[in-house]
Chain A
Amino acid sequence: MFYSTRSKLIASFLGVSFLVGAVSLLIGGQLLYKAVLSEATKRVRLDLNAAREIYLARINSVKVSLNITTLGFGFRSALRKYDDLELVTRLRRMAQHAELDFAGIVTGEDETLCRIGPNPVPNERHQTANPIANLAFEQGIPISGTVVLSNEFLSAESPELANQAKIQLLPSPKAAPRAEKEEPSGMALAAAIPVFEGDDLLGILYGGILLNRSQKIVDKVRDAVFQQEVYKGRSIGTATIFFNDLRISTNVSTLDGKRAIGTRVSKEVKDHVLEKGVTWTERAFVVNDWYITAYEPIEDIFGKRVGMLYVGILEAQYIDIVKKVLTVFVLITVAGMALAIGLGYILADKIMSPVHRLIKASQQVSEGNLSPEVGPLSKDEIGVLQNTFKDMIVSLQERDRRSRAESEDRLLQSEKQASIGRLAAGVAHEINNPLTGVLTFTHMLLRRKDIGDDIRSDLQTIAKATERVRRIVKGLLDFSRQTKLDREPTEINRLVRSTISLMENQALLKGVGIEFNPGKNLPMLTLDRSQFQSALLNLIINALDATETGGNVIVSTGITLSASDAGQKVVEIAIADTGCGIPPEDLDKLFDPFFSTKGIGQGTGLGLAVSFGIVQRHGGTIWVQSEVGSGSTFTIRLPLEGQRE
């Protein structure tokens, strides 16, 4: 019982903490994931902006370096003179400084004067179309930006460049299908500056960087934006430049660790970014991992969407954060549950220990120890229980004390009676023989006719006194006889009624009313009828003796609860009179043999002693309540079950 209370308490604590934990885990996990995702998305957008800035800055740097070159006096005079050797030297120096992949001067549409590269001064002026220089030529203003360059153009500039530009298309299952196996064109950052002398156009200086297979921009983005943050050996941030849907410059790796150049973006992204021209921010599977990604279109100098700029953050690190937090949640929940168990254990202990002590105490009580240790009083309901228990103990102790005192009294009384009985038996036996002689010879003398009246009177006195001795001895014998009970089932009301009828005449003579109130539904008792009747008779005679003419003696029977044995029922016989009553100082001696207040020769004082013995041998009790002047009540109680000998 004790353990089940504890386990119930623990179970409910566990239930609550588990519920709270599970709910917070679910909802919190969800919220957290969303928050982390949106945070990551926000960041990737910012990163995309940063990447764009880097991209544009690179364009600008190309433009600036070209511009500075055109402003140089030597350059201008060389250009004026078409001193191609001088120009090529200057161009090479510029290209080296500005890290340009190609540079050159055109003098008209598709007319190349000179360029860096293996074939600096073409024999044939007319060359492959140079889209940016042409645009600058057309518009007469500096042009800079992204430009798509044909393989022929690149070959002309430098076969090496043309080679660098060529990219094999790798299989990309999600990408939009493309027929060709190779992308021959290149995408470049370039600028073209027209050089004027007054209103005359001297020529156009152009230059740029081929993006295909170039790593500088994307790695700069990665290093600048993500500051070389590494997650599990991998850079968390990646950047890519797409030519159309093709990765031409990237630091996204393929599974074998190479740069994923030649792979293509999914059709979905292409549709959004290249076709519709919107910025795309989404969780996406890039090459081999999930990324939070951002794509934006790259427009070339003609305002056509030719490629895309991409940055992505490895999702794993964010998922990891979520996982970590969730793990902490789980740990907290588990800790909460452990705490619940501990708390439940301690609380149950705290609540149950006084109860436990009470249980122990009541066990002790049931084993007969009436002063068990209840322990310190609790201030709660259990304290009330403890107090009630203590009260109960006190009343038990009180009852125990009373019944012990009662049985001690009874023991004392019966011991007294037993010893008096033994004495009486011995005395009686010794006295009766000589008494026979006294009686015999006195009566024989009285029979004689030849004696004087005075002698006769003396003899009569002797006879009377002897008679009295005889009566006393007889009483003593009656009292001392511990006769075995000869029990038989008896209807108690009938026995009482017949006893009363024996005394009715005497009561009538004395003018005392005698009444009987029989109780109903009394069970049969097994009694020694003649002994019990003599006890009743003694009590009724005493009552009549004590009551003056006009008084009443009322005998009643009934069934009631025992005073000493809880739950035991007893039959009660009460003999009440309206007589003189008994002074309190006599109450103690009442049942002693030879205690009598009746005149000499009237009472032997054995009636109550004998009655007491009889009732006692029936397992019953007898006691008296009395008030001087208003009467006395003698009450006999007989047990119903297990009547003792």
Chain B
Amino acid sequence: MKIMVVDDEGIVLDSCRRVLEADGFQVLLVTSADKALAAIQDQEPALLLVDIKMPERDGMYLMREVKEKWPDIPIIVMSGYHTAETVKEAVKMGATTFIAKPFTPDELLETLRQVIQKKESPGN
């Protein structure tokens, strides 16, 4: 399964790759929203892990674009600083779920699993 991680912070990207690859996922790392859009076209990832706050185009923009072009790809939103409103807005944009930074490997995998489960049994 191919998972694309979008974040402007290298350490987050590294962490995610380390955890996900260890669990057998194929991981694509992208450092900006624009790069992500271009990469989705080629790579067709099954799931997106997106940071909200990024320089230039942010995660919200990316989500909007993705939801328009590839409405089937589930999106997990990450944030190091969130409020109830940002979470609400992200869900409205089409985020499947939300995970707060920092997280442990277990927390990340658990969230991922739930989303995949949901995707595989739509309608529940």
**Do these two chains really belong together in a complex?**
yes
Q: Which residues of A contact B (CB under 8 A)?
A: 425, 428-429, 431-441, 443-444, 447, 466, 470, 477, 481, 483-484, 486
Q: A437-B11, A437-B15, A484-B85 are in contact. List 18 more A-B contacts (CB 8 A).
A: A428-B81, A431-B80, A432-B80, A432-B81, A433-B101, A436-B12, A436-B80, A436-B102, A437-B12, A437-B14, A439-B15, A439-B105, A440-B18, A440-B19, A440-B104, A441-B15, A443-B104, A444-B105
Known A-B contacts A433-B12, A484-B85; the reply to A440 vs B105 at CB < 8 A is: yes
Distance, CA A530 to CA B79, complexed state (A):
22
Distance, CA A436 to CA B10, complexed state (A):
11
Q: CB distance A435 to B14 under 8 Å?
A: no
> Which residues in B have their C-beta under 8 angstroms from that of A429?
53, 80-81
Q: CB distance A428 to B15 under 8 Å?
A: no
> Which residues in B have their C-beta under 8 angstroms from that of A439?
15, 102-105
Q: CB distance A433 to B9 under 8 Å?
A: yes
Known A-B contacts A428-B81, A477-B81; the reply to A443 vs B106 at CB < 8 A is: yes
| Contact among B11, B84, B105 for A433, CB-based, below 8 A | B11
Q: Which residues of B contact A (CB under 8 A)?
A: 9, 11-12, 14-16, 18-19, 22, 53, 80-81, 83-85, 101-106
The 8 A-B residue pairs with the shortest CB-CB distance in the complex, in nearest-first order: A432-B80, A440-B15, A435-B102, A437-B11, A436-B102, A432-B101, A429-B81, A433-B9
Question: What is the distance, in angstroms, from A11's C-beta to the closest C-beta of chain B?
Answer: 73
> Which residues in A have their C-beta under 8 angstroms from that of B19?
440, 444
Which of A433, A470, A483 is packed against the most chain B CB atoms within 10 Å?
Answer: A433
Question: What is the distance, in angstroms, from A213's C-beta to the closest C-beta of chain B?
Answer: 138
Q: Which residue of A lies closest to B22 (CB)?
A: A444
> Which residues in A have their C-beta under 8 angstroms from that of B81?
425, 428-429, 432, 477
Q: Chain B's interface: helix, strand, loop or mixed, by majority?
A: helix
Distance, CA A548 to CA B14, complexed state (A):
48
Which of A440, A441, A484 is packed against the most chain B CB atoms within 10 Å?
Answer: A440
| Contact among A434, A437, A470, A481 for B83, CB-based, below 8 A | A481
> Which residues in B have their C-beta under 8 angstroms from that of A443?
104-106
> Which residues in B have their C-beta under 8 angstroms from that of A484?
85
> Which residues in A have their C-beta under 8 angstroms from that of B11?
433-434, 436-437
| Contact among A432, A434, A444 for B18, CB-based, below 8 A | A444
Distance, CA A428 to CA B82, complexed state (A):
10
19 example contacts (A-B, Cβ-Cβ < 8 A) are as follows: A429-B80, A432-B80, A432-B101, A432-B102, A435-B101, A436-B12, A436-B102, A436-B103, A437-B11, A437-B12, A439-B15, A439-B104, A440-B18, A440-B104, A440-B105, A443-B104, A444-B105, A447-B22, A466-B102
Distance, CA A85 to CA B61, complexed state (A):
176
Distance, CA A466 to CA B53, complexed state (A):
23
Counting residue pairs across A and B whose Cβ atoms lie within 8 Å, the total is 64
Distance, CA A483 to CA B85, complexed state (A):
8
Question: What is the distance, in angstroms, from A274's C-beta to the closest C-beta of chain B?
Answer: 133
Known A-B contacts A481-B83, A483-B83; the reply to A436 vs B18 at CB < 8 A is: no
Question: What is the distance, in angstroms, from A518's C-beta to the closest C-beta of chain B?
Answer: 29
Which of B80, B103, B106 is packed against the most chain A CB atoms within 10 Å?
Answer: B80
Distance, CA A440 to CA B20, complexed state (A):
11
Question: What is the distance, in angstroms, from A427's C-beta to the closest C-beta of chain B?
Answer: 10
Q: CB distance B18 to A428 under 8 Å?
A: no
> Which residues in B have their C-beta under 8 angstroms from that of A436?
11-12, 15, 80, 101-103
Q: Which residue of A lies closest to B84 (CB)?
A: A483
Which of A432, A436, A466, A470 is packed against the most chain B CB atoms within 10 Å?
Answer: A436
Distance, CA A23 to CA B85, complexed state (A):
92
Distance, CA A431 to CA B12, complexed state (A):
12
> Which residues in A have their C-beta under 8 angstroms from that of B85?
483-484
> Which residues in A have their C-beta under 8 angstroms from that of B101?
432-433, 435-436
Q: Which residue of A lies closest to B81 (CB)?
A: A429
Q: CB distance B102 to A470 under 8 Å?
A: yes
Distance, CA A244 to CA B14, complexed state (A):
164
Known A-B contacts A435-B102, A436-B101; the reply to A441 vs B18 at CB < 8 A is: yes
Distance, CA A435 to CA B15, complexed state (A):
10
Distance, CA A481 to CA B106, complexed state (A):
27
Distance, CA A444 to CA B103, complexed state (A):
12
> Which residues in B have their C-beta under 8 angstroms from that of A466?
102
Known A-B contacts A440-B105, A441-B15, A444-B18; the reply to A433 vs B80 at CB < 8 A is: yes
Q: Which residue of B lies closest to A429 (CB)?
A: B81
> Which residues in A have their C-beta under 8 angstroms from that of B83?
481, 483
> Which residues in B have their C-beta under 8 angstroms from that of A477?
81
Question: What is the distance, in angstroms, from A443's C-beta to the closest C-beta of chain B?
Answer: 5
Question: What is the distance, in angstroms, from A258's C-beta to the closest C-beta of chain B?
Answer: 128
Q: Which residue of B lies closest to A433 (CB)?
A: B9
Q: Which residue of B lies closest to A440 (CB)?
A: B15
> Which residues in B have their C-beta under 8 angstroms from that of A425?
81
> Which residues in A have their C-beta under 8 angstroms from that of B18?
440-441, 444
Which of B14, B16, B101 is packed against the most chain A CB atoms within 10 Å?
Answer: B101
> Which residues in B have their C-beta under 8 angstroms from that of A432?
80-81, 101-102
> Which residues in A have their C-beta under 8 angstroms from that of B15?
436-437, 439-441
Distance, CA A477 to CA B100, complexed state (A):
11
Question: What is the distance, in angstroms, from B19's C-beta to the closest C-beta of chain A?
Answer: 6
Question: What is the distance, in angstroms, from A626's C-beta to the closest C-beta of chain B?
Answer: 33
Question: What is the distance, in angstroms, from A241's C-beta to the closest C-beta of chain B?
Answer: 134
Question: What is the distance, in angstroms, from B18's C-beta to the closest C-beta of chain A?
Answer: 6
Distance, CA A329 to CA B3, complexed state (A):
121
> Which residues in A have their C-beta under 8 angstroms from that of B106?
443
Question: What is the distance, in angstroms, from B42's C-beta to the closest C-beta of chain A?
Answer: 27
> Which residues in A have their C-beta under 8 angstroms from that of B14?
437
Distance, CA A37 to CA B12, complexed state (A):
133
Distance, CA A472 to CA B102, complexed state (A):
12
Distance, CA A477 to CA B19, complexed state (A):
26
> Which residues in B have their C-beta under 8 angstroms from that of A434?
11
Distance, CA A441 to CA B18, complexed state (A):
8
Distance, CA A290 to CA B35, complexed state (A):
137
> Which residues in B have their C-beta under 8 angstroms from that of A440?
15-16, 18-19, 104-105
Distance, CA A470 to CA B104, complexed state (A):
11
Distance, CA A428 to CA B14, complexed state (A):
20
Distance, CA A428 to CA B16, complexed state (A):
20
